[in-house]
Structure 1
Amino acid sequence: MPELLLEVNGLKKYFPIASGLFGRKQGEVKAVDDISFFVRKGETLGIVGESGCGKSTTGRLLMRLIESTDGKILFEDREITRMSKSELRRIRRDIQMVFQDPYASLNPRHSIEQILEEPLIVHGIGTKDERRKQVRDMLEVVGLSSYHAKRYPHQFSGGQRQRIGIAKALMTKPKLIIADEPVSALDVSIQAQILNLMKEIQEEFKLTYIFIAHDLGVVRHISDRVGVMYLGRLIELADSEELYENSMHPYTKALLSAVPVPDPDFRKETILIEGELPSPANPPSGCAFHTRCKECMDICKTTRPLEIEINGHFVACHLYNK
């Protein structure tokens, strides 16, 4: 069994809601509400959920692009949440991020060479000639040509820009890459190319991924394990095939029932989720999903379900706490 690379315990992020003339705190948005998980070296952990569930906030918390309200993040047994800025700069060499919008994440005034060279300069890696050679080598790795180094972001297509974003994340030779919706802004045909590229470079560079997405089909293609988030909480986590074949939480079952199947003769029941997504500023008591769940029991309305493990399959649901 591969050793753990990342461990998250009780992670929370509450954003204050201020109003009035003096901006007094009136409440808080529970964007990430007490989640725990681990990532093994060399694997891909997929995190899925609908918009507003807190998955992208989780990715930014792991990078410490935003500060957590509570909880611990351990990377190779070192606690990220308590690190000084100088310590954090060193560890960010090992943790990089690929963002959803490949154009917004690239400086339009810099050439591709300047963009890719920047992480090396920040971390003091190599001489000028060595850095330029690495830039050209990395462009070849992600399927572009070395002569693209002198061009600017606006001269590339969306798929090519995302390849550049991946190349930038690879420049410091990280151990962990957090990919936040890396293909959601791309055409379907380009999505497949980027996913295949990510799998190839994972093997070549011995990378570990946290892959954040809302598309369950995309996540299944690339992930070893998948976690499902709802309203800031991690409600189910299991091996990819186990989750897709034997999902346990009613929310996960509903999501999977809506995934299209490429077989016109195959028919399956679609489970409709009724009602609107509650506000994270005023989440329901007990189980966050109870207001939309057909399996809702009295205990669901008052008591938050504990996460239980059944043969490596984690689920937070009162149906299994009997």
Structure 2
Amino acid sequence: MKQPLVEIKNLKKYFPIRKGMFKKTVGHVKAVDGLDFTIFKGETLGLVGESGCGKSTTGRTILQLLSPTEGEVLYEGKNLLDMKGAEMRKLRKDLQMVFQDPYASLDPRLTVGELIAEPLQIHQLYQGKERDRRVDELLQVVGLHSYHAKRYAHEFSGGQRQRIGIARALALNPKLIVADEPVSALDVSIQSQVINLLQDLQEQFELTYLFIAHDLSVVKHISDRVGVMYLGRIVELADKNDLYDSPMHPYTKALLSAVPVPNPLIKKERIVLQGDVPSPANPPSGCTFHPRCSECMDICRTEKPAFQEVNGRYVACHLYS
């Protein structure tokens, strides 16, 4: 039986909208609006959806880089929201992040060696030459060389910078890594190298990934299970093969219909969604997808569908109530 590493319960993150001289709160942007899911030890959970659906905010909120508005984040049974100061700092070693932009996530004032050694210094791990050996070891693990430690981030390509970011995340021997669109800023040829590196590291160090992306082909390649987000909520969560072969939610069907097929002789039926994504500051009543759904029913306009188990997967849709 799979052991849960992280359990997310009713997670919400609202950003206040303030106006006027006194910055009075007049509303909220509901970036994450009630998530429930589990990440199991050793798996890769993919999280996909349109830009602005709350994927990155979800990852940052799980790691407590953003404070949740409501809900629970249980790491090995401990609620991270109850932890403060030194207690949370100890757990930081187990929870790391690879950021989306390899150009903005590395301090240009520090050498690569100093960047990778910084978390070791903060947590008082290794000293002197041992720390230098650890930095060299991490560089080699991600496909770089020890002499790269003396260079600065601007001297590297985008793919090499992302490898440095991965080495920095690995420095403290974490258990969970949140990879926030780690290949979206890279060329296609480099994307495959970084994806293969992440898979090799997962096997070597027994890592667990939350892999956030909008490229459905990349997510299928690396993930064990996939969650589909729309306007702050997960609308479908299933094993990757089940989800890609037989999607249940209308939004998932529309997303997958847009994935290109590398065979010009095969013609796919494209499902084109009508209208624009509603504002998370003023989401539609009932099911938030109903204004764009071709299978919308009267109940969809008034009642929010429950995120429930259906045939071994989870889906939030009145079609299966």
TM-score (norm: length of structure 1): 0.99
| Equivalent position SS for 1:92 | helix
Letter matched to residue 301 of structure 2: K
**How much does 1:86 deviate?**
1.0
Cα drift, residue 311 of structure 1: 3.0
In the alignment, which residue of structure 1 is the partner of 2:135?
135
Displacement of 1:267 in angstroms is 1.0
Q: Which amino acid aligns with 1:262?
A: P
The residue aligned with 2:200 is: 200
Residue in 1 that maps onto 2:160: 160
Structure 1 position 133, deviation (Å): 0.3
Separation in structure 1 between the aligned mates of residue 128 and residue 34 of structure 2, nearest angstrom: 45
Which secondary structure state, in structure 2, belongs to the residue aligned with residue 114 of structure 1? helix
Gaps of 5+ in 1: none
- Give the corresponding residue for 1:300: 300
Q: Which amino acid aligns with 1:203?
A: E
Matched to 1:111, the amino acid is T
Counterpart residue number, 1:2: 2
Residue in 2 that maps onto 1:119: 119
In the alignment, what sits opposite 2:108?
Answer: 108
3-state DSSP class of the match of 2:22?
coil
| Cα shift at 1:312 | 2.2
Q: Partner residue of 1:234?
A: 234
Shift, 1:80, TM fit: 0.4
Residue 60, structure 1, aligned to residue 37, structure 2: no
In the TM superposition, structure 1's runs of 4+ consecutive aligned residues that sit over 6 Å from their partners are: none
The answer to whether residue 50 in structure 2 is matched with residue 33 in structure 1 is: no
1:142-192 CA distances to partner (integer Å, 9 max, x unpaired)? 001111000000000000000000000000000000000000000001000
Shift of 1:139: 0.5
- The percent identity for this pair of structures is 62
Shift of 1:298: 0.4
CA contact (8 A) 2:310 2:320 kept: no
Match in the other structure for 2:257: 257
The 3-state SS of whatever aligns with 1:278 is coil
Q: 1:67-106 alignment to 2 at 5 Å? A: 67-106=67-106
CA separation in 2, counterparts of 1:127 and 1:284?
56
Residues of 2 paired with 1:78 and 1:276: CA distance?
A: 39
Post-superposition shift, 1:249?
0.3
Matched residues in 1 for 2:32 and 2:230: separation?
10
**Other structure's SS at 2:284 match:** coil
CA distance in 2, matches of 1:242, 1:89: 38
The unaligned stretches of length 5 or more in structure 2 are none
Q: Give SS of 1:32's match.
A: strand
Give the equivalent residue in structure 2 for 1:214: 214
CA distance in 2, matches of 1:186, 1:36: 31
**Aligned equivalent of 2:149:** 149
Aligned residues: 321
The answer to whether structure 1 residue 14 and structure 2 residue 14 are counterparts is yes
- Deviation of the 1:131 alpha carbon: 1.1
* 1:52-85 CA distance string (max 9 Å, x none): 1000000000110110000000001111011012
Query: Is 1:246 aligned to residue 246 of structure 2?
Result: yes
Distance (Å, rounded) in 1 between the aligned partners of 2:257 and 2:174: 36
- Amino acid paired to 1:179: A
Q: Which amino acid aligns with 1:26?
A: V
Counterpart of 1:310 in structure 2 is 310
Q: Which amino acid aligns with 1:316?
A: A
Secondary structure of the residue aligned to 2:35 is strand
Deviations 1:262-291 (A, max 9, x none): 111111100001101100000000000001
Kept in 1: contact 2:174–2:207 (CA 8 A):
yes
Q: Distance in 2 between matches of 1:244 and 1:92?
A: 34
Q: Distance in 2 between matches of 1:126 and 1:61?
A: 30
CA distance in 1 between partners of 2:85 and 2:12 (Å): 21
Q: Letter of the 2:66 partner, please give it.
A: I
Are 1:290 and 2:290 an aligned pair? yes
Could you tell me how far 1:87 is from its partner in structure 2?
Answer: 1.0
